[in-house]
Structure 1
Amino acid sequence: MGDFDAFEREAWAGRAEAYARSFGLLCAHTVPMLLDAAGVGAGVRVLDVGTGPGTAAALAVRRGAEVHAVDAEPSMVERAARAVPEAAVQHAMLPELPFADGEFDAVVANFVVNHVGRPADALAELRRVAGPGGRVAVTIWSAPPAPGQALLGRALEAAGAARPSSVPTLAAEDDFARTEEGLTGLLTAAGLVGARCATLSWNHVADPEVWWSGPAAGIATVGQILHSLPPDTAAEVRRQYDVLAAEFRTDSGALSLPHTALLGWATTS
């Protein structure tokens, strides 16, 4: 396991409930479109990779699919298994999945490619477990980030909180452009055919305290950076967050946060 993947395992360890209450609500938005792109319906054998709290697995079950789901974080596996007892949920991580070649009709990964150290290898593994003519569909965050997505990073920057050297980035040879062209290119390089990509844009409405609770719990890179800061700097990040969040407040006091993601899909043949 490389430094990037090891960091990701630490960043998500034991945080399933905190994620489900915060960023998980955001990531749920793309699930219906993801399953549509993968052709998930009645009788389809589908694998949900990086299931998290089981959001995509649950909707696939409701559509009548035969659902398997995996996640690299044990607390996510436990939560998804409770939430979706109809699905076969187990612990596994990319790029090595415990399934035979061509075992599934469809494979989906909702905001998972963002969190692996070797994205090309991860997509090749998704292709491997999809059968002849099978569909693979993934979502990632686009770059540059939409204003709502950038809010927490702006608060860190405004507080003078530098990214610690201990927070790894992808190796240059493993990175790719977070654009429609970049994602379709990655899908094609993984051996998939007919790759397509769509940009998804929406406003995620969240209570300011709920949105802050994600990084406050140490979730993802922004949360790990926040947890690495001295208390006075962390307090300044919170103050800057409150100031900057005013740009997105609605009349009800909630935040309306613009987000943009990429949905890419392709087939094995």
Structure 2
Amino acid sequence: MPETPFDESERGAWAGCAAAYEAGFGRLCAHTVPRLLDAAGVVAGARVLDVGTGTGSAAAAACARGARVVAVDAEPDMARLATRIVPEACVHVAALPQLPYADGRFDAVVGNFVLNHVGRPRVALDELCRVTRPGGRIALTLWAAPAAPGQALLGRAVQAAGVTRPPSLPMLAPEDDFPRTEDGLVGLLRGAGLTDTVCRSLSWDHRTTPEEWWSGPAAGVATIGRIVQSQGAAVAERIRRQFVALAAEFTGGDGGLVLPHRALLASGRVAVQGRVVG
């Protein structure tokens, strides 16, 4: 299946960014991992796929539980770093919605924020169902909308600087999108045929520093980084100044940032043909 313009843009947004991601946004995204693995029923001996592994936080945690872990990422730089960080996992370069695995190979599949980065979420979820055995569980996290205040900080800085998203960074096509709410994510899972579906919100304060939080965009990490870097040095500096000003409302007495975030955690079970697994 050909990539969508959104998929192609995502490839560019993460190319060569593994170290910069690990030093900043990676710690934020790792917060949800323990509950993600619990929702997928990851236990010792389970065959687990971590899709969109990034630098391997979920894969590492699954290995620590004694699971047999395969991890994939579309970005070779991420896969290389994950291989070094989690040598006990089998890490491959592969991208949704086409995974190089047999039907029903895995007991559990986890995707930590991976659905935020695919152009056809429904098709991607169908592929995750294909590689999960009947009765196995799939668990996914997703950034909720509207964004929590801490998550929205960098975007607010871009807007305050008078910068708009460049046309070269396409949004998800409307026909491929879905509501980033508990009901919307449950509906997506049920539409893929998953049973025993549940979804809940996870809220937490991410503690960081202004320097660390700006380092991601400054290095071009993710879409926000591509927006910053596309503007040239003078405009990027204007965005940074707006970030510093807006960050004051999240700054504690020690000078660090306390950034409220909210994500959705959903899971479901692949049905056994002819009956529902409870």
Letter in 2 for 1:124: D
Deviation, 1:190, is: 1.3
Query: What SS does the aligned partner of 1:224 have?
Result: helix
Equivalent residue, structure 2, for 1:199: 201
Deviation, 1:80, is: 0.6
Deviation, 1:230, is: 2.8
Query: What SS does the aligned partner of 2:126 have?
Result: helix
Letter in 1 for 2:249: E
Equivalent residues, number: 269
1:267 maps to which of 266, 269, 276: 269
Structure 1 runs of 4+ aligned residues shifted over 6 Å read none
In 2: Cα distance, 1:81 partner to 1:180 partner: 33
Deviation, 1:167, is: 1.0
> Residues 144-196 of structure 1, C-alpha deviation per residue, up to 9 Å, x if partnerless?
00000000000000000111111101111100000000000011111211211
Are residues 1:160 and 2:162 paired?
Answer: yes
Please identify, of 28-37 and 217-226, the stretch whose mean Cα deviation from structure 2 is larger.
Answer: 217-226
Equivalent residue, structure 1, for 2:37: 35
In 2: Cα distance, 1:84 partner to 1:41 partner: 17
> Residues 35-79 of structure 1, C-alpha deviation per residue, up to 9 Å, x if partnerless?
000000111110000001010000100000010000000011101
Equivalent residue, structure 2, for 1:151: 153
Equivalent residue, structure 1, for 2:54: 52
Q: Which residues of 2 match residues 71-220 of structure 1 at below 5 A?
A: 71-220=73-222
Query: What SS does the aligned partner of 2:123 have?
Result: helix
Please identify, of 50-59 and 190-199, the stretch whose mean Cα deviation from structure 2 is larger.
Answer: 190-199
In 2: Cα distance, 1:194 partner to 1:215 partner: 39
Equivalent residue, structure 1, for 2:246: 244
**Structure 1: unaligned runs, 5 residues or longer:** none
In 1: Cα distance, 2:192 partner to 2:101 partner: 18
TM-score, structure 1 length as denominator?
Answer: 0.99
In 2: Cα distance, 1:74 partner to 1:231 partner: 28
Query: What SS does the aligned partner of 1:170 have?
Result: coil
In 2: Cα distance, 1:132 partner to 1:38 partner: 14
- What's the C-alpha RMSD, in Å, of the aligned pairs? 0.6
Equivalent residue, structure 1, for 2:276: none
Letter in 1 for 2:104: G
TM-score, structure 2 length as denominator?
Answer: 0.96
